[in-house]
């Protein structure tokens, strides 16, 4: 008897197999209907979806066989996964590899075997779709072609299973996003660092045109960094892993600080703070200071990105039914109503008609809303004639 050798990709193959999360799982109709079809089509009593694990082959689907697994070293399928082609053994008694195999000499007394490798992620041969009988069979090219077709069907079911975790709700997607954002940080550190040093003159004096180009690249590198930061914050906030230090804070000084930041990045004349009466000027909210500044900054950034270049943005403090709020009004849609829902979707483009879309405004509102909600604030949008008004209603302080 010949023990099947290990394929050269064994480690990666096992990783691909385990990544499917199918080993030792319950039987599933989506596989059983394929093995049933195979038995009928080829006139054999036994058809298996066999997954070749480290030391065993385990059957995800089996017709006509009691055993749920057999040792790999006496398996036929261990041989099948060594090559792309179908392995056909018309009569095991005539094949020196299998003639004294315990599965041949004892139950289930295999005489006929045909197995087609199954392809898992990365093209690794993770198992087989195989047919068994206790009497010899002929198996011609048309039979081989039909078995390949059924195996392709199984491949699709395997891959579908592998995709499910990514499709199972936003949690898994956001976890992926978090990993990705983290991976992006090293290259971004290198890019931002190199460009910053170049622009700062650490690489020697640059000709004017080269300096301009460097500054443009640096500006966009910074935007990329911001986007990744926002993504990570969004993931953190949505998964409830973000800690908020809620304190009683005076709102006006924080709004003023956020406006200073926005003016520094978008231009000093863009934002007008409407007059604030005395009662409101001393009003307090209960928020996390850093995160409130972040939310206000996101709203101001969004307004700047979504309105035509140079159009004024009005910022105000309001008392609305006893609740303190910040409003940010910018030139916008004729009606915000239709956009109200899509506005908070990630990466939604919300540029006003005639406004030049200035880069992605994608995550601003989504993140502002998520962060705000975690602190008990509510972000909404309304329209006034010719303007879109974002309003953030804040939880009042206990005092």
Task: Using DSSP bridges, classify how beta strands 313-320 and 271-273 pair: parallel, antiparallel or unpaired.
Answer: parallel
Q: Which stretch binds other proteins (CB under 8 A): 55-63, 157-165, 183-191, 362-370?
A: 183-191
Please report which helix (H) or strand (E) contains residue 278, including its range: helix 278-281
Q: Which of 54, 189, 272, 282 binds other proteins (CB under 8 A)?
A: 189
Q: Which stretch binds other proteins (CB under 8 A): 160-168, 189-197, 262-270, 347-355?
A: 189-197
Of the candidates 196, 261, 380, 395, which one interacts with other proteins according to CB under 8 A?
Answer: 196
- Give residue for tokens 């880069």: 359
Residue 314: CB minimum distance to other proteins, A: 32
Q: What 3-state DSSP class applies to 70?
A: strand
Structure tokens at 66: 């009691």
Q: Whose Cβ is closer to other proteins: residue 21's or residue 182's?
A: 182
Binding other proteins by CB under 8 A: which of 36, 97, 144, 192? 192
Out of 190, 210, 281, 338, the only residue in the binding site for other proteins (CB under 8 A) is 190
Complete DSSP assignment for 189-257: HHHHHHHHHHHTTTT-PPPHHHHHHHHHHHHHHHHHHHHHHHHHHHHHHHTT-----EEEEEHHHHHHH
HSE-CB at 353 with a 13 A cutoff on CA atoms is: 7
Identified binder of other proteins from the candidate list 106, 138, 186, 275, rule CB under 8 A: 186
CA dist 84 → 76, 112, 152 (Å): 15, 20, 13
When asked if residue 210 is in the footprint of other proteins (CB under 8 A), the reply is: no
* Residue 293 touching other proteins (CB under 8 A): no
Q: Which of 194, 273, 280, 311 lies at the binding interface for other proteins (CB under 8 A)?
A: 194
Under rule CB under 8 A, residue 197 binds other proteins: yes
Which tokens in the block code for residue 85? 């082609």
Count the residues of the shown chain that bind other proteins, applying the rule CB under 8 A: 20
Minimum separation from the CB atom of position 203 to other proteins (A): 8
Nearer to other proteins by Cβ, of 71 and 193: the residue is 193
User: DSSP letter string over 125-138?
Assistant: EEEEEEEEESS---
Kindly tell me which residue out of 5, 123, 193, 267 binds other proteins, with binding defined by CB under 8 A.
193
Judged by beta carbon, residue 189 or residue 345, the one nearer other proteins is: 189
Q: Which residues contact 390 (CB under 8 A, 6 or more apart)?
A: 299, 302, 303, 327, 328, 329, 365, 379, 380, 381
Q: Cβ of 23: how many Cβ atoms within 10 Å?
A: 15
Closest CA relative to residue 324, chosen from 247, 246, 250, 245 = 250
Residue from 26, 138, 243, 279 touching other proteins (CB under 8 A): that is 243
Our CB check for other proteins shows the closer of 3 and 229 to be: 229
Q: Which of 21, 40, 109, 182 binds other proteins (CB under 8 A)?
A: 182
Q: Return the number of the residue (194 or 206) whose C-beta is nearest other proteins.
A: 194
Residues near other proteins (CB under 8 A): 182, 185-186, 188-194, 196-197, 199-200, 202-203, 225, 236, 241, 243
């Amino acid at each position: 008897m010949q023990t099947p050798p290990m394929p050269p990709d064994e480690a990666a193959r096992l990783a691909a197999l385990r990544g499917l999360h199918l080993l030792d799982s319950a039987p599933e109709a989506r596989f059983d209907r394929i093995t049933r079809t195979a038995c009928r089509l080829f006139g054999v009593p036994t058809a298996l979806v066999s997954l070749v694990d480290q030391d065993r082959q385990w059957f995800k689907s089996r017709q006509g066989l009691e055993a749920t697994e057999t040792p790999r070293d006496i398996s036929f399928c261990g041989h099948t996964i060594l090559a792309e082609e179908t392995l056909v053994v018309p009569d095991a008694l005539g094949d020196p590899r299998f003639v004294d195999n315990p599965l041949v000499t004892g139950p289930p007394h295999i005489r006929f075997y045909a197995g087609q490798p199954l392809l898992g992620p990365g093209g690794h041969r993770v198992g087989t779709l195989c047919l068994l009988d206790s009497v010899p069979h002929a198996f011609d090219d048309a039979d081989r072609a039909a078995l390949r077709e059924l195996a392709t069907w199984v491949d699709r079911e395997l891959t579908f299973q592998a995709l499910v975790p990514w499709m199972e709700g936003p949690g898994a997607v956001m976890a992926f996003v978090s990993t990705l954002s983290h991976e992006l940080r090293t290259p971004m550190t290198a890019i931002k660092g190199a460009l910053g040093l170049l622009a700062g003159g650490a690489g020697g004096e640059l000709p004017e045109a080269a300096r301009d180009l460097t500054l443009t690249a640096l500006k966009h590198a910074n935007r990329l960094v911001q986007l990744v930061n926002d993504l990570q914050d969004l993931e953190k906030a949505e998964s409830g892993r973000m800690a908020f230090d809620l304190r009683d804070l005076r709102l006006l000084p924080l709004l003023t600080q956020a406006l200073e930041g926005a003016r520094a990045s978008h231009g000093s004349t863009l934002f007008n703070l409407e007059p604030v009466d005395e009662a409101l000027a001393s009003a307090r909210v209960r928020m996390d200071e850093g995160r409130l500044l972040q939310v206000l900054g996101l709203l101001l950034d969004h307004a700047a990105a979504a309105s035509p270049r140079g159009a004024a943005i009005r910022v105000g403090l309001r008392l609305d039914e006893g609740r303190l709020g910040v409003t940010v009004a910018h030139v916008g849609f004729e009606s915000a109503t239709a956009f109200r829902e899509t506005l908070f979707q990630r990466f939604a483009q919300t540029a006003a008609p005639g406004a030049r879309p200035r880069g992605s405004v994608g995550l601003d509102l989504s993140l502002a809303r998520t962060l705000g909600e975690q602190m008990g604030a509510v972000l909404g949008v309304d329209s006034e004639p010719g303007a879109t008004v974002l309003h953030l209603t804040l939880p009042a302080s206990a005092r």
